[in-house]
């Protein structure tokens, strides 16, 4: 399983765009990159998943360079309710388990 | 869609008693469910993988006789913490993955809301 490295914490203000980068130097050919969000005392919530280039949904964008050794989760115009821990995970297509790293604690201030 | 529920949401028990936590996939069938444990200010740690109709696969260091897992149907998995002790106090989270929920390329795991266990 590819190991991931993320910043421990990030600070932002309401209305700003936040980019959280995750390093996964040992990502395998069949691995996909998935981001989850977790609020205190709640289960993680799926945000976005991608394999290469760019993926966008209604809440976020995921940018993956050609070498796939890193990925960036982009949250446009964050609000106070985006304060949470964000986890980057790398997993193989199929029935592999997920290994959660320490995640990034994002604090959004007024 | 893809809702996973857990029951109870919190439980307090005395040391030495057993506690059962249920995990249900409400609107899809889950061939595989996972159980995680999360201590305060720490990340989720996978305890075991539960496959419907077969024995669970436990991660290294997790006592299978203490944490009994049963996945009797495609929508229900249970975790029983036997002879609970204060050090078992934690936040237990399940997730479910089933066929037909493919997003980009993998079967996304959908997580339950968690169960807070406090052992006195």
- pLDDT tens column, A38-69: 999 999 998 999 999 999 999 999 999 999 99
Q: Which residues of A touch B36 (CB under 8 A)?
A: 100
Question: In this complex, is the C-beta atom of B28 within 8 Å of any C-beta atom belonging to chain A?
Answer: no
Residue B7 has, within 13 A of its CA and on its CB side, a CA count of: 7
Mean pLDDT of chain B: 89
Which candidate from B94, B103, B114 shows the least CB-CB separation from A42? B114
Q: Tell me how far apart the alpha carbons of residues A10 and A7 are, in angstroms, rounded to a whole number.
A: 7
Place of tokens 């999360």: B38
Q: Tell me how far apart the alpha carbons of residues B41 and B38 are, in angstroms, rounded to a whole number.
A: 8
Interface touch A95/B107, C-beta < 8 Å = yes
Q: Are strands B57-58 and B67-73 parallel, antiparallel or unpaired?
A: unpaired
What percent of chain A shows pLDDT beyond 90?
77
CB A85 within 8 A of CB A6: no
CB A47 within 8 A of CB A53: no
Which candidate from B6, B32, B111 shows the least CB-CB separation from A44? B111
User: What are phi and psi for residue B96, nearest 5 degrees?
Assistant: -130, 140
Confidence at residue B51, expressed as pLDDT on a 0 to 100 scale: 85
- Give the pLDDT band of residue A22 (cuts 50, 70, 90): very high
- Give the pLDDT band of residue B98 (cuts 50, 70, 90): low
Instruction: State mean pLDDT over B52-76.
Output: 91
End-to-end CA distance of chain A: give it in Å, rounded: 38
Confidence at residue B105, expressed as pLDDT on a 0 to 100 scale: 45
Q: Tell me how far apart the alpha carbons of residues A62 and A22 are, in angstroms, rounded to a whole number.
A: 11
Instruction: Compute the nearest-CA separation of B46 from chain A (Å).
Output: 7
* Counts of helices then strands in chain A (DSSP H, E): 0, 9
Q: Which residues of B touch A61 (CB under 8 A)?
A: none
* Joined tokens for residue A55: 């993926």
Which candidate from A49, A55, A102 shows the least CB-CB separation from B106? A49
Q: Which residues of B touch A45 (CB under 8 A)?
A: 111
pLDDT per residue as tens digits for the range B99-110: 554 444 455 788
pLDDT per residue as tens digits for the range A82-101: 999 999 998 875 556 777 88
- The H-assigned helical ranges of chain B are none
Interface touch B106/A46, C-beta < 8 Å = no
Q: Which residues of A touch B105 (CB under 8 A)?
A: 32, 49, 51, 93
A8-12, A14-18, A102-106, B70-74: lowest mean pLDDT where?
B70-74
């Amino acid at each position: 399983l590819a190991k991931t490295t993320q910043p421990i914490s990030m600070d932002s203000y309401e209305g700003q765009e936040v980019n959280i980068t995750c390093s996964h130097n040992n990502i395998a050919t069949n691995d996909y990159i998935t981001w989850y969000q977790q609020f205190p005392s709640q289960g993680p919530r799926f945000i976005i998943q991608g394999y290469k280039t760019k993926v966008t949904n209604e809440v976020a964008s995921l940018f993956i360079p050609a070498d796939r050794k890193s990925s960036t989760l982009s949250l446009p115009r964050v609000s106070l309710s985006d304060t949470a821990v964000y986890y980057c995970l790398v997993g193989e297509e199929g029935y592999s388990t997920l290994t959660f790293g320490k995640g990034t604690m994002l604090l959004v201030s007024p | 869609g893809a809702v996973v529920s857990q029951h109870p949401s919190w439980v307090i028990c005395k040391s030495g008693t057993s506690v059962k936590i249920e995990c249900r996939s409400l609107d899809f069938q889950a061939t595989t469910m996972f159980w995680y444990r999360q201590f305060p200010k720490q990340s989720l740690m996978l305890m075991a993988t539960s496959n419907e109709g077969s024995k669970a696969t436990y991660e290294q260091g997790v006592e299978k006789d203490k944490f009994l897992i049963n996945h009797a149907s495609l929508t229900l998995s249970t975790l029983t913490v036997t002879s609970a002790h204060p050090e078992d106090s934690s936040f237990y989270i399940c997730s479910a993955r089933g066929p037909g929920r493919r997003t980009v390329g993998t079967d996304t795991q959908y997580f339950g809301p968690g169960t807070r266990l406090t052992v006195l």
